[in-house]
Protein backbone atom coordinates (compact mmCIF):
# COMPACT_ATOMS: atom_id res chain seq x y z
CA UNK A 1 0.00 0.00 0.00
CA UNK A 2 1.68 3.21 -1.15
CA UNK A 3 1.33 6.61 0.52
CA UNK A 4 2.15 10.07 -0.70
CA UNK A 5 2.66 12.85 1.84
CA UNK A 6 1.63 16.23 0.46
CA UNK A 7 2.55 19.44 2.26
CA UNK A 8 0.35 22.49 1.71
CA UNK A 9 2.05 25.63 2.98
CA UNK A 10 0.01 28.76 3.60
CA UNK A 11 -3.18 29.78 1.85
CA UNK A 12 -1.93 28.77 -1.59
CA UNK A 13 -0.95 25.33 -0.30
CA UNK A 14 -4.44 24.92 1.14
CA UNK A 15 -5.99 25.85 -2.20
CA UNK A 16 -3.79 23.30 -3.99
CA UNK A 17 -4.87 20.59 -1.54
CA UNK A 18 -8.51 21.57 -2.06
CA UNK A 19 -8.10 21.22 -5.82
CA UNK A 20 -6.36 17.86 -5.40
CA UNK A 21 -9.22 16.64 -3.20
CA UNK A 22 -11.76 17.57 -5.88
CA UNK A 23 -9.70 15.75 -8.51
CA UNK A 24 -9.48 12.65 -6.30
CA UNK A 25 -13.26 12.75 -5.80
CA UNK A 26 -13.71 12.35 -9.55
CA UNK A 27 -11.73 9.12 -9.46
CA UNK A 28 -8.54 10.19 -11.19
CA UNK A 29 -5.80 7.64 -10.56
CA UNK A 30 -3.07 9.28 -8.54
CA UNK A 31 -0.49 6.53 -8.40
CA UNK A 32 -0.89 5.89 -4.67
CA UNK A 33 -3.39 4.13 -2.46
CA UNK A 34 -3.35 6.84 0.18
CA UNK A 35 -2.74 10.56 0.33
CA UNK A 36 -1.55 12.11 3.59
CA UNK A 37 -2.12 15.89 3.49
CA UNK A 38 -0.22 18.05 5.95
CA UNK A 39 -1.14 21.72 6.04
CA UNK A 40 1.34 24.21 7.49
CA UNK A 41 -0.21 27.58 8.17
CA UNK A 42 0.42 29.83 11.19
CA UNK A 43 -2.90 31.61 10.58
CA UNK A 44 -5.44 29.18 12.03
CA UNK A 45 -8.29 31.50 11.00
CA UNK A 46 -7.26 31.52 7.33
CA UNK A 47 -10.40 31.02 5.23
CA UNK A 48 -8.51 28.87 2.70
CA UNK A 49 -7.38 26.60 5.53
CA UNK A 50 -10.88 26.19 7.01
CA UNK A 51 -12.44 25.49 3.60
CA UNK A 52 -9.79 22.88 2.79
CA UNK A 53 -10.13 21.10 6.14
CA UNK A 54 -13.91 21.05 5.70
CA UNK A 55 -13.58 19.56 2.20
CA UNK A 56 -11.08 16.94 3.38
CA UNK A 57 -13.47 15.95 6.18
CA UNK A 58 -16.40 15.75 3.73
CA UNK A 59 -14.34 13.60 1.34
CA UNK A 60 -13.45 11.17 4.14
CA UNK A 61 -17.05 10.99 5.35
CA UNK A 62 -18.37 10.25 1.85
CA UNK A 63 -15.64 7.67 1.24
CA UNK A 64 -16.55 5.83 4.45
CA UNK A 65 -20.07 5.25 3.08
CA UNK A 66 -18.90 3.79 -0.23
CA UNK A 67 -17.96 0.19 -0.95
CA UNK A 68 -14.98 -0.76 -3.05
CA UNK A 69 -14.72 -4.35 -4.28
CA UNK A 70 -14.08 -6.25 -7.49
CA UNK A 71 -17.77 -6.21 -8.49
CA UNK A 72 -18.03 -2.48 -8.00
CA UNK A 73 -16.28 -0.53 -10.75
CA UNK A 74 -16.77 2.78 -8.94
CA UNK A 75 -13.68 4.99 -9.20
CA UNK A 76 -15.15 7.99 -7.36
CA UNK A 77 -13.46 8.71 -4.01
CA UNK A 78 -11.23 5.67 -4.54
CA UNK A 79 -8.05 7.15 -3.02
CA UNK A 80 -8.01 7.24 0.75
CA UNK A 81 -7.08 10.51 2.45
CA UNK A 82 -5.44 9.72 5.77
CA UNK A 83 -5.47 12.14 8.67
CA UNK A 84 -2.36 11.85 10.86
CA UNK A 85 -2.72 15.30 12.46
CA UNK A 86 -5.75 17.05 13.99
CA UNK A 87 -7.53 18.86 11.15
CA UNK A 88 -4.67 17.78 8.85
CA UNK A 89 -2.76 20.79 10.22
CA UNK A 90 0.73 21.00 11.65
CA UNK A 91 0.56 23.81 14.19
CA UNK A 92 3.59 26.05 14.29
CA UNK A 93 4.31 29.11 16.30
CA UNK A 94 3.90 32.35 14.37
CA UNK A 95 6.88 33.83 16.22
CA UNK A 96 9.09 31.04 14.89
CA UNK A 97 8.19 31.99 11.31
CA UNK A 98 8.71 35.70 11.91
CA UNK A 99 12.17 35.10 13.35
CA UNK A 100 13.18 32.95 10.38
CA UNK A 101 11.70 35.47 7.94
CA UNK A 102 13.65 38.25 9.65
CA UNK A 103 16.86 36.17 9.49
CA UNK A 104 16.40 35.43 5.79
CA UNK A 105 15.72 39.09 4.96
CA UNK A 106 18.76 40.12 7.02
CA UNK A 107 21.00 37.67 5.18
CA UNK A 108 19.72 38.84 1.79
CA UNK A 109 20.29 42.50 2.68
CA UNK A 110 23.78 41.82 3.99
CA UNK A 111 24.78 40.20 0.67
CA UNK A 112 23.96 43.35 -1.30
> Cβ(49)–Cβ(89) under 8 Å?
yes
Give the pLDDT score at 100: 62
pLDDT at 112 exceeding the cut of 70: no
pLDDT tens digit sequence for 35-83: 999 998 878 888 999 999 999 999 999 988 887 776 667 788 888 999 9
Q: CA-to-CA distance for 81 and 57, rounded, in angstroms?
A: 9
% of the chain with per-residue pLDDT over 90: 38
8-39 burial, b at 16+ Cβ within 10 Å, e below that, comes to: bebeebbebbbebbeebbeeeeeeeeebbbbb
User: Mean pLDDT in the chain?
Assistant: 83
Amino acid sequence: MSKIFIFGIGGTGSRVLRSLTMILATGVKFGADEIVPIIIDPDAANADLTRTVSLLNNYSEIRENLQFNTDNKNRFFRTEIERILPNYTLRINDTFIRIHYWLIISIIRSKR
